[in-house]
Amino acid sequence: MPEIKTIGLFIITAIAEIVGCYLPYLWLRHGASVWLLVPAACSLALFSWLLTLHPDASGRVYAAYGGIYVSVALVWLWLVDGVRPSVWDVLGVAVTLAGMAIIAFAPRHA
């Protein structure tokens, strides 16, 4: 069960990071309001705080988080950008998730 909680927390963290980066993108590339930078900054602060909720060493958390981030980014690509991921995208996600699982859930000695 801790694995499900960890993955869920990583997914929420990835969404916070992507929103924090997507809002400035809208401002810079699509002429959206500069006021989008306020919720973007809040979202990035939330992202940083969420990463601190993991009990493992920070470097391991960041490395494992990367696999979930790649997965969530491709779901974003499909749902928000309207671009269906390719077979190669899906293969890349599978590889990164395998790496994430090895890093996050390998047995550790005290």
State pLDDT tens for residues 15-42.
Answer: 999 999 999 999 999 999 999 999 999 9
- Distance between CA 66 and CA 69 in Å, rounded? 5
Query: Is residue 12 pLDDT above 70, yes or no?
Result: yes
Question: What is the average per-residue pLDDT within 8-13?
Answer: 92
3-state SS class at 32? coil
Nearest to 47 by CA among 77, 10, 76, 73: 10
The rounded distance, in Å, linking the Cα atoms of 70 and 36 is 24
pLDDT of 48 above 80: yes
User: What would the 3-class secondary structure string for 7-73 be?
Assistant: HHHHHHHHHHHHHHHHHHHHHHHHCCCHHHHHHHHHHHHHHHHHHCCCCCCHHHHHHHHHHHHHHHH
Give the Cα separation of 96 and 106 in Å (integer). Answer: 15
55 vs 28, residue with greater confidence: 28
Mean pLDDT of 81-90: 96
Between the alpha carbon of residue 104 and those of residues 3, 11, 56, 86, the distances in Å are 9, 14, 9, 27
The residue ranges of every structural domain in the chain are: 2-105
pTM: 0.86
